[in-house]
Amino acid sequence: MTTRFDKLAASLSTSGLDAVILNPGPTLTYLTGLHFHLMERPVVLFFAADKPPALVLPELEMQKVTGLPITPFPYGENPAEWDAAFRGAIRSLDLDGKKIGIEPRQLRLLEYQYVKSAAPKADFPDASSALASLRLRKDADEVQKMRRAVQIAQSALESTIPLIKIGMAEKEIAAELVTQLFKHGSDPELPFSPIVSGGPNSANPHATPTERKLERGDLLVIDWGATFDGYISDLTRTFAVGEVDAECATIHRVVQEANAAGRAAAKPGVPCAEVDKAARAVIEAAGYGGFFTHRTGHGIGMEPHEDPYMRGDNMQILDVGMAFTVEPGIYLPNRNGVRIEDNVVISKDGADVLSTMTREMRVVG
């Protein structure tokens, strides 16, 4: 915890921020190891570089912080008392009138209003860049947890595949896959609900499983992941339901080649844009460029989407420890779609591919 607090203090010093506030989410957990969930009772960590952090929290959560280098400001069940806890935390760090960074995607209006009331003269700039840099480069322990999350996810799908039959509904497959994820060791909180989409539904990159039943000739896209000790995996494989037509086989081969090109382009010192361009070039050369409608990948770690992002305009330089997906796709509207997604971590020599499940088109049903 102390080392990560030191990293945050260094990040604040270069960003012009006096402090940051964090509510329950990956960054708070990364820094403290504490797990809280968003609820009607606010929880906020106040961090400034030169004093112990302050934590506003319900009295019922106090056992979690016993023995930690954090000053707690607990409150009871009466909401009329909660303002006092926030004022105490603000005073302890002398934050009124200071620049207090926030996470716009994470901080709710509920917490913001309490903090703003307790520090009416403070400014609240966006601290996304300063905070994202903390988790951008994964250490060996984090990579090992992600590798385990990949292994759990792959084992769970391998156990599900023999159960997939023609006439089975997408929702049925998704339910079985979730069961297998838990059986194989995933944390209870999955990174996201699995996408299971067949035939025309597979042409929607973010489809939700439906009652549609698998038919012979469908392509079946399964996008799934597991969580291990707070770190996630995010994978996709595409299957043939019985015999598929020639174009389905072609677009699967093209996406497989694009995935390989994206992984090969991922090296330290290379801009993120080059990973996207390498994968996209394969699909464009095959004449399907207009059917690849999203970026090639996104960062992963404690969240299913975080920095860095593999898109054609992102010139951020890849460095050792950065972890992300490579997931090109081709989506033929109202017909079929293909996506193949792997998880990689930048190493000294290139990209360490965490996922090992075959990318060949397998037949199910």
CA distance 201 to 103: 34
For residues 162-185, average pLDDT: 98
One domain for residues 67 and 212? no
* Residue 1: pLDDT over 90: no
User: Which residue, of 85, 114, 134, is where some domain finishes?
Assistant: 134
One domain for residues 150 and 278? yes
Tens digits of residue pLDDT in 187-231: 999 999 999 999 999 999 999 999 999 999 999 999 999 999 999
Q: What does DSSP assign to residue 29? A: H
Confidence at residue 188, expressed as pLDDT on a 0 to 100 scale: 95
User: Which residue, of 107, 134, 161, is where some domain finishes?
Assistant: 134
CA distance 364 to 16: 56
Q: Give, in order, the Cα–Cα distances in Å from 22 to each of 46, 168, 231, 346.
A: 7, 44, 19, 28
For residues 261-268, average pLDDT: 98
Q: Dump the DSSP string for 91-148.
A: HHHT-TTSBEEB-TTT--HHHHHHHHHH-TT-B--B-HHHHHHHHSS--HHHHHHHHH
Confidence at residue 2, expressed as pLDDT on a 0 to 100 scale: 78
One domain for residues 127 and 192? no
One domain for residues 113 and 252? no
Domain range spanning residue 176?
136-364
237, β-bridge pairs = 222
Please give the structure tokens belonging to residue 213.
């039943």
One domain for residues 35 and 173? no
Q: Residue 97: give its domain's CATH number.
A: 3.40.350.10
Q: Give, in order, the Cα–Cα distances in Å from 48 to each of 31, 57, 87.
A: 13, 18, 15
One domain for residues 243 and 311? yes
Confidence at residue 196, expressed as pLDDT on a 0 to 100 scale: 98
Whole-prediction pTM: 0.93
One domain for residues 159 and 268? yes
Residues across the chain: 365
CB 322 within 8 A of CB 136: yes
One domain for residues 117 and 222? no
One domain for residues 41 and 183? no
CB 230 within 8 A of CB 236: no
One domain for residues 158 and 246? yes
Confidence at residue 132, expressed as pLDDT on a 0 to 100 scale: 86
How does the average pLDDT of the chain come out, rounded?
Answer: 97
Confidence of residue 284 (pLDDT cuts 50, 70, 90): very high
One domain for residues 76 and 168? no
One domain for residues 227 and 111? no
326, β-bridge pairs = 342
Confidence at residue 50, expressed as pLDDT on a 0 to 100 scale: 85
What is the domain count for the chain?
A: 2
Q: Residue 183: give its domain's CATH number.
A: 3.90.230.10
Q: What does DSSP assign to residue 184? A: T
User: Which residue, of 79, 102, 134, is where some domain finishes?
Assistant: 134
* Residue 34: pLDDT over 90: yes
Confidence at residue 245, expressed as pLDDT on a 0 to 100 scale: 97
